[in-house]
Structure 1
Amino acid sequence: MVKMKDVAAITEQVSNHINNHKFDIALTWPITISVGLPNKALLEANAVAVHNNNNAIKKWANKCGCKFETVHRVIGTPVELVSKISVPDELTVLRILKKSEVEEYRKIRRRIDWLSAEFSVSPETISAVVRMTNNEEELDFNLIVKAAHYFQNNDVSGITPRQVPLTGFSSKWLNETRTKRRKAICQLLGIEALNLAGRPTELRFRYLDPAYDDIELERIILLPWEGDAFAGAKYVIVVENKDTYQSMPLIPNGICIWGSGSAVSNAVPKISALRNMHIVYWGDMDADGLEILSSLRESGVPCDSILMDCTAYDRYCQFGTELTERGTEIKLREPKPVLGLRESERKLYMQLCSDATLRYRRIEQERIPICNALEELHKLGVPAVLPK
């Protein structure tokens, strides 16, 4: 039918209207939909279709409880055609929406009503919080409300998210990564931040010099650190994987730092003593590892790298993988500026991020024989002792 809406088009427009306004604190009724009648020539050229469509709209409107307006037209004989459909109230719109849309709508309205009754904040804030947390499961949304009341009545300054004594919460529920939950709680309370403490930055390292045989070889320090744990060290090897960390051989005046993920780029810059040493970073050949290397240099820590360029990739690509730890495919990604990378490292980074023809997007460092890594360290002047 030319221009004239049918039942499906009217239903879709009602659905779109509700979807666009479902987070409004107060919905406005009625919802009015124009049917869009064609001109006289088109009406007469499609007389049978017009009659059938008009009857279908009337039948549907009566069934749902919608009101409609008609206009007088002549199609051979005078007829009354539906020109507008009016959805008068919430009960009527729920008859029109699909079951999944009804469930979504009721969930949102229930949350809006609940927050409006519990917290003295503006309607705009209530709407924003419900929209922000719409993907939270019902249990988690309930916990957001519970947590907001707890923070409203208790001083949590100085404790970490895992230390908040809330019943029914997992230890990671309010971690720093849960930014929407934290922001929602803050907005409900009208505050800028929860003042929770971050977990102290931790650095794990082991002495590689045989001169330290009489002391504990592995140490964990909490930052900031001003002690003498690194006294006498000249060489620092920073690795990403624990297997490599544990198998690193003797290096006179050397230490090995294990920096899982981005922890190393957060920790190493905070230890001023390390800046006077020869630092070598060796991570996985993947986009994450190269971004960590770049972040380390951008933080002001000068360091070399080994086995993190195209030459190394080509040599060891048979050890590569296209899967994450969870068995999902490593996706292409938008490259970051990575201002700290050198040209050979940047070339590999760009290929790992955006070259769809590249077979593997990760070569884990522990797959590379440690003796090969020691050869690379020797080229940089690090006196690693090769195993016999």
Structure 2
Amino acid sequence: MRTPDYILDQIRIRYDNNWRDWLVSPPDALSFSLTPPTAHTIARNADAVATWLRAWQEWAHDHPTVHMRTVTRRTLIGTQQVYTHVDLHSVDSLVTLIPALEERWYTATQRYSDTSVLGVPQEQLKPYLAQIVALDDYDFSLLIRIAQWFIKNPKSGLTIRQVPVPGLHTKWLARHRSLVLALLGLPQLSEADDCDDVDVRDLDALGLRPLPTSIDIILTDPEDQQSLSGLRHIRAPLAEIAGLRLRPRQILVIENKQSALPVPDWPGVVVIHSLGNFLDALVAIPWIACAQAWYWGDLDRAGFTLLSRARTRLPGLTSVLMDRDTLSQHIDLAVIDPTGRIDPPDSTLTIAEREALAALTHEAGQLRLEQERIPWNYVNKILDKVLRGPGR
């Protein structure tokens, strides 16, 4: 014999499992079985059944819109009418039984109505309804305005910041890209909404163009500096960097800006820094192909992943300061890596690099030795040795 509290719990469970389907296709009626007592139970446990009936009578009195289905049981002690089901004629009547559900259902129905007018196929929208309902009012209103703008302007050729919808910016679109694409009926081409930038494939689907990608380089060769009016540090779009008339003997790719800035002058060397995951630049710059290439990154899992990806693009790339010796000599400067999931490296790491990566495992967690923490006198000695070469 199920109690009113038990049935309310079942209502919550059924709502949580089915509310998306109900938005798309509302049910005609909803029923919940009370597992009523049998004639045998009534005869043997009359007091318990009477208490159960009174509880439901009081509950039914407090909820007059609910229909209580009954049946008459014939027992050895006479006939007894008992409740068998709670019957509800609609989802609206169901959610009135639990105020929190009523508020959630009101929000869901309103937002489903607002999004449906955009013409999105119902089944395509269903997987995103929970995210849509979870938005605050400001973000939902902005989502609708943005979707309406893209529907009217599918191939604008603008950058994100040029889209004339107040409130739209790159980080907002990056966090909500899946919802925008869903409301436009466009496929999801990139990963989850967990970054601060928008994938170029999503920009293309939205009819937007990316900003020019800028590259940071340091001309450590005095002759290169002189040919460019004394410039040493240059940040410019990739196409402009690729077009520079440089013929470096060696390229040094450095993961972080802080470690690149102290690099002294070295004839025949160009430093490229702060590429992050934009490693395709290494094959887009023609003068890199003719140089010997070195890579120096953090001694941590992410650093070795970036190194492996860089070598996938430049097979002749050699790592420097990313070995077990450097780690062991500066182990006191390492910290526990707070980073969560890290993508595994490509299969291009050398045996020595894999050994260094394995050495990062510590009983307290994965270690991280950031490159800028290594004393510069040690760094300079190693870089001078590899960049100048034997006998230089």
Report the TM range for the smaller structure's normalisation. 0.7 to 0.9
CA contact (8 A) 1:29 1:87 kept: no
Provide structure 2 residue ranges, at least 5 long, that are not aligned to the other structure.
Answer: 188-201
RMSD: 3.2
Taking the aligned partners of 1:231 and 1:113, their CA distance within structure 2 comes to: 59
- The answer for the alignment partner of 1:341 in structure 2 is 349
Tell me by how many angstroms 1:98 deviates.
4.7
The 1:50–1:255 alpha-carbon spacing in structure 2 relative to 1, beyond 3 Å, is farther
The 1:347–1:34 alpha-carbon spacing in structure 2 relative to 1, beyond 3 Å, is farther
Tell me by how many angstroms 1:163 deviates.
2.0
Identity over aligned residues, as a percent? Answer: 23
- The answer for the alignment partner of 1:62 in structure 2 is 61
Taking the aligned partners of 1:54 and 1:311, their CA distance within structure 2 comes to: 79
Taking the aligned partners of 2:169 and 2:76, their CA distance within structure 1 comes to: 69
SS in 2 for 1:96: coil
The number of residues matched between the two structures is 368
Query: Which amino acid in 1 is paired with 2:210?
Result: G
Tell me by how many angstroms 1:45 deviates.
5.8
The 1:56–1:276 alpha-carbon spacing in structure 2 relative to 1, beyond 3 Å, is farther
- The answer for the alignment partner of 1:292 in structure 2 is 306
- The answer for the alignment partner of 2:373 in structure 1 is 367
- The answer for the alignment partner of 2:255 in structure 1 is 240
The 1:199–1:181 alpha-carbon spacing in structure 2 relative to 1, beyond 3 Å, is farther
Candidates 266, 274, 284, aligned match of 1:259: 274
The 1:228–1:188 alpha-carbon spacing in structure 2 relative to 1, beyond 3 Å, is closer
- The answer for the alignment partner of 2:181 in structure 1 is 183
Query: Which amino acid in 2 is paired with 1:237?
Result: L
CA contact (8 A) 1:119 1:188 kept: no
Tell me by how many angstroms 1:256 deviates.
1.1
CA contact (8 A) 1:44 1:76 kept: yes
Tell me by how many angstroms 1:283 deviates.
1.5
- The answer for the alignment partner of 1:8 in structure 2 is 5
Write the deviation string for residues 231-282 of structure 1: whole angstroms up to 9, x where unpaired. 231111111222111111222211111125323x232222232122222211
Write the deviation string for residues 67-110 of structure 1: whole angstroms up to 9, x where unpaired. 121233338554322221112234432322252x3332221111
- The answer for the alignment partner of 1:130 in structure 2 is 129
The 1:217–1:188 alpha-carbon spacing in structure 2 relative to 1, beyond 3 Å, is closer
Tell me by how many angstroms 1:33 deviates.
0.8
CA contact (8 A) 1:239 1:257 kept: yes
SS in 2 for 1:20: helix
Tell me by how many angstroms 1:366 deviates.
0.7
Taking the aligned partners of 2:308 and 2:235, their CA distance within structure 1 comes to: 24
Taking the aligned partners of 1:362 and 1:10, their CA distance within structure 2 comes to: 53
CA contact (8 A) 1:330 1:361 kept: no
The 1:169–1:228 alpha-carbon spacing in structure 2 relative to 1, beyond 3 Å, is closer
Query: Which amino acid in 2 is paired with 1:6?
Result: T
CA contact (8 A) 2:43 2:77 kept: yes
Provide structure 1 residue ranges, at least 5 long, that are not aligned to the other structure.
Answer: 324-328
Tell me by how many angstroms 1:320 deviates.
2.6
Taking the aligned partners of 1:283 and 1:228, their CA distance within structure 2 comes to: 26
Taking the aligned partners of 2:358 and 2:34, their CA distance within structure 1 comes to: 53
The 1:344–1:108 alpha-carbon spacing in structure 2 relative to 1, beyond 3 Å, is farther
| 1:319 and 2:316 matched | no
The 1:143–1:46 alpha-carbon spacing in structure 2 relative to 1, beyond 3 Å, is same
Tell me by how many angstroms 1:28 deviates.
0.9
| 1:277 and 2:291 matched | yes
Taking the aligned partners of 1:268 and 1:207, their CA distance within structure 2 comes to: 16
The 1:342–1:182 alpha-carbon spacing in structure 2 relative to 1, beyond 3 Å, is farther
- The answer for the alignment partner of 1:103 in structure 2 is 103
- The answer for the alignment partner of 1:308 in structure 2 is 322
Write the deviation string for residues 260-316 of structure 1: whole angstroms up to 9, x where unpaired. 5323x2322222321222222112222222221121122344311223344433432
CA contact (8 A) 2:308 2:345 kept: no
| 1:223 and 2:238 matched | yes
SS in 1 for 2:330: helix
Taking the aligned partners of 1:282 and 1:225, their CA distance within structure 2 comes to: 24
Write the deviation string for residues 120-146 of structure 1: whole angstroms up to 9, x where unpaired. 343334545534534333212211211
Taking the aligned partners of 1:239 and 1:71, their CA distance within structure 2 comes to: 80
Tell me by how many angstroms 1:196 deviates.
0.9
SS in 1 for 2:388: coil
CA contact (8 A) 2:249 2:269 kept: yes
- The answer for the alignment partner of 1:326 in structure 2 is none
SS in 1 for 2:206: coil
- The answer for the alignment partner of 2:81 in structure 1 is 80
Taking the aligned partners of 2:245 and 2:176, their CA distance within structure 1 comes to: 36
Taking the aligned partners of 1:350 and 1:51, their CA distance within structure 2 comes to: 70
The 1:186–1:345 alpha-carbon spacing in structure 2 relative to 1, beyond 3 Å, is farther
The 1:75–1:365 alpha-carbon spacing in structure 2 relative to 1, beyond 3 Å, is farther
Taking the aligned partners of 1:102 and 1:301, their CA distance within structure 2 comes to: 61
- The answer for the alignment partner of 2:195 in structure 1 is none
Query: Which amino acid in 2 is paired with 1:59?
Result: E
Tell me by how many angstroms 1:14 deviates.
1.2
The 1:260–1:62 alpha-carbon spacing in structure 2 relative to 1, beyond 3 Å, is farther
Tell me by how many angstroms 1:368 deviates.
0.7
